[in-house]
Amino acid sequence: MNPYRIDFDLITGFCKSGIVKPVQRRVSNMKTQFLDEKAAQKAIEDGDPILYEFNTLLNEEKHSALAFGTTIIYPGKIGDEYYMTKGHFHTVLDTAEVYYCLSGNGFMMMETPEGEVDIKELHPGEAVYVPGRWAHRSINHGKEPFVMFFVYPADSGHDYGTIETKGYRKLVIEKDGKPIVIDNPNWK
Amino acid sequence: MNPYRIDFDLITGFCKSGIVKPVQRRVSNMKTQFLDEKAAQKAIEDGDPILYEFNTLLNEEKHSALAFGTTIIYPGKIGDEYYMTKGHFHTVLDTAEVYYCLSGNGFMMMETPEGEVDIKELHPGEAVYVPGRWAHRSINHGKEPFVMFFVYPADSGHDYGTIETKGYRKLVIEKDGKPIVIDNPNWK
């Protein structure tokens, strides 16, 4: 395999050259994951907005290779809950990931299968190291798009099903204009 | 291992919180690698300037983990040759690395043990994917510090010795005010 170059705008996260195309996730792609299912249903009927987009270079799916790209989480809420990504474990559970915040701000919510929970707030120029075994979800509680550059081992794989089935143990909602972390009453 | 957060300034590359300290490389650390050894010796006698600095989070040295950080290559020349990094293969030869340019501009010069050579110019917002097997050296032909964020598998290791002994097949020098790529007459 030969080296290659690719552009990701340092503010918007998008690839202007078009080498990689963004993939969109809308409310309809994760409506059962929001606390307020009625608000999610209404948002879908009102135009099904894009919650987030990502631009991923997969490269060779072998462990010595790396996948990388950018993710853009838009500002907004479904009910009192901020726009967020689905969240996932890696299929190869023990593989790590690095996220580096380029613009906007938000949270990285992380949890292990055993129930440890950690949350880190990120601002531009801050990175978070997500060790192996930690599921991770990005949440935008700011007013601008929350944009990060990410890198992970190319054979990590994405296990979305565990989170879709069980939910996250914790959620971030807005109360009195501020983000607070609550237990997820729907967690199984 | 628990998640952690760390800051790397998006322009300077430095960690203001001091969680990671920069490591400096001066002309004296690589004086035999410059084409003009007399100019290198004179630069050492004139104060031995810093060529580059890097800030690396090593994490656990296992293959499922990642190491990451920033590198800052200063503008300048030794004779007609631009300031550059030592350049290295990974000890686990087949491991990849991703570099993302934050500020300044410069080249990533790459070569395989078999003699393939590739060079990519990087500007802010451009990333280069260095596949496994490709040695890589950063070269600053600009007027500002050339700053990149990088990520690689944590057990990759650094083989500096091969480049120190054999040299790089190609060099980048300034001619008539512009960078040109030449064969390295000292390559073994």
How high is the pLDDT of residue A131? 95
In a domain, A15, yes or no: no
Strand intervals (E) in chain B: 4-7, 23-26, 50-57, 66-73, 77-78, 81-82, 97-103, 106-111, 117-122, 126-130, 135-139, 146-153, 170-175, 178-183
Give the domain CATH number at A71.
2.60.120.10
Q: Which of A7, A66, A125 sits opposite B126 (nearest CB)?
A: A7
Number of domains in chain A: 1
With a CB cutoff of 8 Å and minimum separation 6, the contacts of A45 are: none
How high is the pLDDT of residue A64? 86
Q: Compute the half-sphere exposure of residue B45: CA atoms within 13 Å on the CB side of its CA.
A: 6
Confidence of residue A163 (pLDDT cuts 50, 70, 90): confident
How high is the pLDDT of residue B130? 96
In a domain, A161, yes or no: yes
In a domain, A4, yes or no: no
Please state the pTM of the whole predicted model: 0.96
In a domain, B35, yes or no: yes
How high is the pLDDT of residue B60? 81
In a domain, A9, yes or no: no
Q: How far is A64 from chain B (nearest CA, A)?
A: 4
pLDDT exceeds 80 at position A63: no
In a domain, B33, yes or no: yes
Share of chain A above pLDDT 90, in %: 85
Q: Which of B3, B64, B128 sits opposite A129 (nearest CB)?
A: B3
Q: State how far the alpha carbon of B82 is from the alpha carbons of A100, A159, B72, B91, B177, in Å.
A: 29, 46, 14, 26, 12
**ipTM (interface pTM):** 0.94
Cβ-defined contact of A128 to B102 (cutoff 8 Å): no
B136-183 pLDDT, tens digit per residue, is 999 999 999 999 999 999 989 999 888 888 889 999 999 999 999 999
Average pLDDT rounded to a whole number, residues A109-127: 96
Under-50 pLDDT residues of chain B: none
Q: Which residue range forms the structural domain that includes residue B124?
A: 23-183
Q: Which residue of B has its CA nearest to A150?
A: B151
Q: Which residue of A has its CA nearest to B149?
A: A100
More confident residue, A58 or A125: A125
